[in-house]
Amino acid sequence: MTQTNIYLPLNVQFYVTVPSSGSQTGNVVLHEAYHRGAEGFPLESKEFGSWSSTSGLITVQQHLWERRNDLRGVFIRTSTMDVNRYKILDRVKYWQMIISLQDMPFVDLKPLSPGSKHYRLIGYLADVWTELQIIMGFNYSVIASVDGKWGALNDDGVTFNGVVGMIERGDIDVGVASFFATSDRAKAGDFSVALYNSLYVTECLAATASTLLMIQHFNPLGPNCL
């Protein structure tokens, strides 16, 4: 395949048919094309399968992400914040970033040096992220969340704050944290497969003679209570 000025993101499925040399007329070879990183990276082309009038379509059996697991040369900058200290660090705009909130034991952050605004991730989710880095070969760095929030709808009911808002605006690419997958957040970005299941229990005061309604104990709760 020849280089083109078309940018094909890593998750795009774009295929090109090439006539098969030395075979019967009509037989073709299928190639998939994509870029491993942002614009400027060379176009990748891999054989995906073939088609002939006798055997029909034959394709490789590997999953898309098994075929595209080489991110060597891609630099992804990550971001995190220490919710225990509620210290908001300056936002640094990068071409590619990942953001995370401290949420032990799932993810925690440690400064690379005293007073540094860059961190390394530790914890369960950090281990998963490190395994992806080893397998795919990318590099990354960690900075802080802009406002110390995971991500909820702003008052305008359209845009998001926190990590989700940074993803929505294109400031970062990935949030490494224990997010609740909601339909609202799904409008701003995609979620990974579930890595664990959580169980939460709500405890309420017992009803008294003055609270006869069965749902009286839910009165303190409202849309902004969480």
> Could you tell me the CATH number of the domain that includes residue 90?
3.40.190.10
What's this model's pTM, rounded to 2 decimal places? 0.65
d(CA 79, CA 220): 35
What's the mean pLDDT in 122-146? 86
Query: What range does the domain containing 44 cover?
Result: 14-67
- Would residue 174 count as lying in a domain? yes
With residues binned 3-state (H G I as helix, E B as strand, rest as coil), the percentages for the chain, rounded to 5, are 15, 25, 60
Contact of 172 with 206, CB cutoff 8 Å: no
In a domain, 173, yes or no: yes
| Better-predicted residue by pLDDT, 7 or 118 | 7
Q: Are residues 79 and 183 in the same domain?
A: yes
Same domain, 85 and 165: yes
Note whether 79 and 168 are same-domain residues: yes
Are residue 176 and residue 85 in the same domain, yes or no?
A: yes
Looking at the structure, do residues 177 and 104 belong to the same domain, yes or no?
Answer: yes
Residues 164, 96 share a domain = yes
Query: Residue 98 burial (CB < 10 Å; 0-12/13-18/19+)?
Result: buried
Distance CA 213, CA 173 (A): 48
Please, are residues 191 and 179 in contact by the beta-carbon 8 Å criterion?
Answer: yes
104 is a domain residue: yes
Contact assessment for residue 151 and residue 186, using Cβ atoms and an 8 Å cutoff: no
Query: What whole-number distance in Å separates Cα of residue 177 and Cα of residue 189?
Result: 14
Determine, yes or no, domain membership for 39: yes
Please say whether the beta carbons of 18 and 33 come within 8 A: no
Same domain, 131 and 103: yes
161 and 126 inside one domain: yes
**Tokens 């605006």 -> residue:** 169
**Is the domain of 79 the same as that of 162?**
yes
Q: What pLDDT band is residue 208 in, cutting at 50, 70 and 90?
A: low
Distance CA 19, CA 51 (A): 10
Q: What is the pLDDT of residue 99?
A: 56
72-112 pLDDT per residue, tens: 888 887 766 554 444 333 333 333 455 555 566 678 777 88
pLDDT of residue 21: 72
Per the structure, the count of domains in the chain is 2
